[in-house]
Amino acid sequence: MRALDRLALILGLGFLYAPILILVVYSFNASALVTVWGGFSTRWYGVLVADVPLREAAGVSLAVALASAALATVFGTLAALALDRGGRFAGRRLFTGLIYAPLVMPEVITGLSLLLLFVGFGLDRGLLTLVVAHATLGLGFVAVIVGARLRGLDRSLEEAAADLGAHPGRVFATVTLPLIAPSLAAAFLLAFTLSLDDLVIASFVSGPGATTLPMRLYSQVRLGVNPEINAASTLLVGTVTALVLTASWLTGRKGVA
């Protein structure tokens, strides 16, 4: 490997990881001053465990993430199937645009516009509106991941199943679904992570009693650097890392792009 390439990778990955590592290291800092090292301690994890509002917020986030990821996976997979198998249908271009729009649309716009929708139809803001908003955000990502797998699928496998007498429902259940299963799992995990991570959209569409973990963290971060947040971040980073590694293992295992 060329020396310049190696340098680019080391600098690039160093840039990406250094802030996270600093955060993790300082979560074990005995001192309350974030920039002064006062020796190793787990005291901030103790503070974290005792922080009831933060724990409640984490519970809300997990529940919302599970529900919205499940919805996103179902609808995103249907959308991917529609694009891959639906042939030509009226409004196909608009449909494609609507799938991709939440992927690039600035979050403030997604959040504000969904809020205006919920208010306009007199829906009370809370868990339900959060789930719907996050499912909409995740849907596009699911459609992209599952769509890539569907395009890479060897069509002759499904044709073989049909040739052997399986009706379309059985072909889907016994051939298509098992083949795209790893990408479904990966897509679910990514939708879950996105929901868990979102601050902006949640701030718009959630109501009293539905404060998510990022919302709670944000209100503390605004007050300045705080070691308890470092501890919370470390746990969050650890969870997300585990999820991403699982997802990439699942996709990599079956040769999914």
Partner 1 sequence: MRRLLPVLPALWLAAFVLLPVILTLKISLSTPATAQPPYLPVLDWSAGIEGWGSFLEALDFTNFETLAGDALYRDAALSSLTLAAIATAILALIGTPIALAMARAPERWQPLLVALLIVPFWTSFLIRIYAWIAILKPEGLLSAGLIRLGLISQPLEILNTQGAVLIGLTYAYLPFMVLPLYAVLAKLDPRLPEAAADLGAGPVRVFWSVTLPLARPGLSAGALLCFVPMVGEFIIPDLLGGSDTLMLGRVLWSEFFSNRDWPLASAVAILVLVLVVGPLVLFREDEAAAREAGR
- Which positions from 98 through 127 interact with partner 1, judged by CB under 8 A? 98-99, 101-102, 104-110, 112-114, 116-117, 119-120
CA dihedral 77, 83, 89, 91 (to 10 degrees): 90
Q: Which stretch binds partner 1 (CB under 8 A): 39-47, 157-165, 173-181, 210-218?
A: 210-218
Q: Which of 131, 132, 175, 187 binds partner 1 (CB under 8 A)?
A: 132
Q: Name which of 214, 68, 60 is nearest 141 in CA terms.
A: 68
**Applying CB under 8 A, which part among 47-55, 158-166, 177-185, 197-205 lies near partner 1?**
197-205
- Give a three-class secondary structure readout of 189-246: HHHHHHHHHCCHHHHHHCCCCCCCHHHHHHHHHCCCCCHHHHHHHHHHHHHHHHHHHH
Which residues sit opposite 40 in a β-bridge? Answer: 29
The binding track of 133-172 with respect to partner 1, each residue x by CB under 8 A or -, is x--x--x---x------------------------x----
Contacting partner 1 within 37-56 (CB under 8 A): none
Q: Check residue 85 for interaction with partner 1 (CB under 8 A).
A: yes
CA separation for the pair 54, 214 (Å, rounded): 10
Report the C-alpha gap between 232 and 169 in whole angstroms.
Answer: 46
Instruction: Count interface residues toward partner 1 (CB under 8 A).
Output: 84
Residue choice 47, 63, 233, 254 for contact with partner 1 (CB under 8 A):
233
Task: Tell whether residue 199 is a contact of partner 1 (CB under 8 A).
Answer: yes
Contact 122, 84 (CB under 8 A): no
Token pair for residue 34? Answer: 């974030």
Q: Does 89 bind partner 1 (CB under 8 A)?
A: yes
Residue 1 or 52: the one with the smaller Cβ distance to partner 1 is: 1
Q: Indicate which single residue of 48, 58, 161, 217 sits in contact with partner 1 (rule: CB under 8 A).
A: 217
Residue 82 to residue 85: CA distance in whole angstroms? 5
CA distance 71 to 65: 10
Position among 81, 123, 162, 166 found at the interface with partner 1 (CB under 8 A): 81
250 binds partner 1 (CB under 8 A): no
